[in-house]
Amino acid sequence: MNLLELKQFATPRQAEIIDAIVKHGTQAKAAKALGIDRRGLERTLKRARAAASRQGWSPDHDMIHIAPDTHLVKGVSTFYDENGRPIRQWVKTDLKKDSLVADLQGVADGLSQELPKYKPLPFKPSKGVKERLATVIIGDAHIGMLVKRNYGGGDWDLEIAEKVTLQAIKTLITNCGEGTEFLLLNVGDFLHCNTPNVTAAQTQLDSSGHWIDSIESAVRIYRQAVEWALELNQKVTLLNARGNHDEDLSMVVNSMLSVFFEETPRVTVLSNVSKFMHYQYHRVLLTSHHGDKGIKPQRIYEYFTRTQAKLWGDTEHRYCHLGHIHHKQASEQGGAMLFESWNTLAAQDEYHSQAGYGSGRSMSAVIYSPVWGETQRFRVGITQLYDECIS
């Protein structure tokens, strides 16, 4: 494959890597010159080739008919003569739908290359620490949302969202104290937009800053939160559910965090390819779904009993953490699983204010015993957070 021709399908970061390979002659030398690991370079180059093939360009496979930017190739039929030469070809295209995730992943590859690997601080666990799982639950954070007018709940923009979210997480981690395991559980819509100024369903939104700024803010929040959690806990796990605002972009953030912490055995970033997520802590099963797409607790209950039968049988205390509706709500299914939706810290935007919606604004932490399930809760409200970190 001609690398210079491949550049027309590449993201800026992919193009930079292609230029380095051409200049230095090998992938190994190019990676060294760019200051990145070769495995990351190969992943980025592979995504560039995949993007090109989706547009119909893969000369190694006799694909040379390029589809327009608005379409992607969903099938190619090639007829060859007796000498193996292509003599006729049909290219079937479709509107560009599934390519969004691949394009966003290209953004993640570029940003990930700029992230240094995490270098954990020395940690020596204290003796006699009671075994438990501390879980900070982040309701719909809407990082990157812009509230243009004050609707009685205060202003909201990228800077305020980052400050308030970090202060809430820090307060709750401190309240939870020292322990064995920590789970940072985001119930979805951590980011306000999926791509510039729109949700995954293409709903127009009021945004603060560029969408890349929102990604970088999200990564900063997670990195700092993990740093704080590692000071007090032996193990830290990140569970980032996908919302309806950030259905694809949340996977980009997850990918970047996986790269950043990949050499840190004390940190685990759970895959969020599925919108149904779960984590087992001894006899405790914690599950999460954003709660969008009209899904009801009964269907989530049925999903986990059907797809995670062994996990279900191995646990006694089962919880499902939801977002989407922004207000507190709890119910129980079959006497076997407790469902709970969580408040957001974000201010109310014009649409929800004019429609009469309203909810409390807080963030909570829950302590789980490996034997008894939930044993304790902590909560921090928006008024306290504004007083502490917003001048």
Residue 165 corresponds to which tokens in the numbers above?
């979210």
Contact status, residue 180 vs residue 236, Cβ threshold 8 Å: no
pLDDT at 70 over 70: no
86: which strand partners?
80
Nearest alpha carbon to residue 326 among 196, 143, 141, 162 = 141
How far is Cα 77 from Cα 91, in angstroms, rounded to an integer? Answer: 7
* Residue pLDDT, tens place only, 315-335: 999 999 999 998 889 999 989
Question: What is the helix, strand, coil percentage profile of the chain, to 5?
Answer: 40, 25, 35
Cβ neighbours, 10 Å, residue 273: 10
Choose among 390, 371, 376: nearest CA to 136. 376
pLDDT of the residue at 89: 47
Q: Domains along the chain? A: 3-104 (no CATH), 121-389 (3.60.21.10)
- Residue 354's contacts (CB-CB under 8 Å, 6 or more residues apart) are none
Percentage of the chain beyond pLDDT 90 is: 43
CA atoms within 13 A on the CB side of 352: 19
Q: What is the pLDDT of residue 115?
A: 64
**Range 142-149 average pLDDT:** 84
Note whether 268 and 237 are within 8 A (CB).
yes
| Residue of 141 and 83 predicted with greater confidence | 141
Q: Please report the DSSP string for 12-79 in residue order.
A: HHHHHHHHHHHHHSSHHHHHHHHTS-HHHHHHHHHHHHHHHHHTT-BGGGTB--PPPTTEEEEEEEEE
State the Cα angle at 130 between 129 and 134, rounded to 5°: 105
Structure tokens at 120: 């954990």
Instruction: Mean pLDDT check: name the lowest of 21-35, 168-182, 203-217, 285-299.
Output: 203-217
Q: What is the mean pLDDT of residues 90-99?
A: 48
- Are 341 and 291 within 8 A, CB to CB? yes
Whole-angstrom Cα distance, residue 264 to residue 255?
15
Is the predicted pLDDT of residue 313 greater than 90, yes or no?
yes
Q: Indicate the pLDDT class of residue 71, thresholds 50, 70 and 90.
A: very low
Q: What angle is formed at CA 302 by the lines to CA 301 and CA 306, rounded to 5 degrees?
A: 120
Mean pLDDT of the chain: 82
Cα–Cα nearest to 180, from 129, 217, 256 = 129
Show the tokens assigned to 104. Answer: 């966003």
DSSP code string of 124-190: -PPTTPPP-EEEEEE----BTB-B-S--SS--B-HHHHHHHHHHHHHHHHHHH-SEEEEEEEE-S--
Residue 57 binned pLDDT confidence (cut-offs 50, 70, 90) = low
Phi, psi of 299 (to 5 degrees): -70, -40
pLDDT at 86 over 70: no
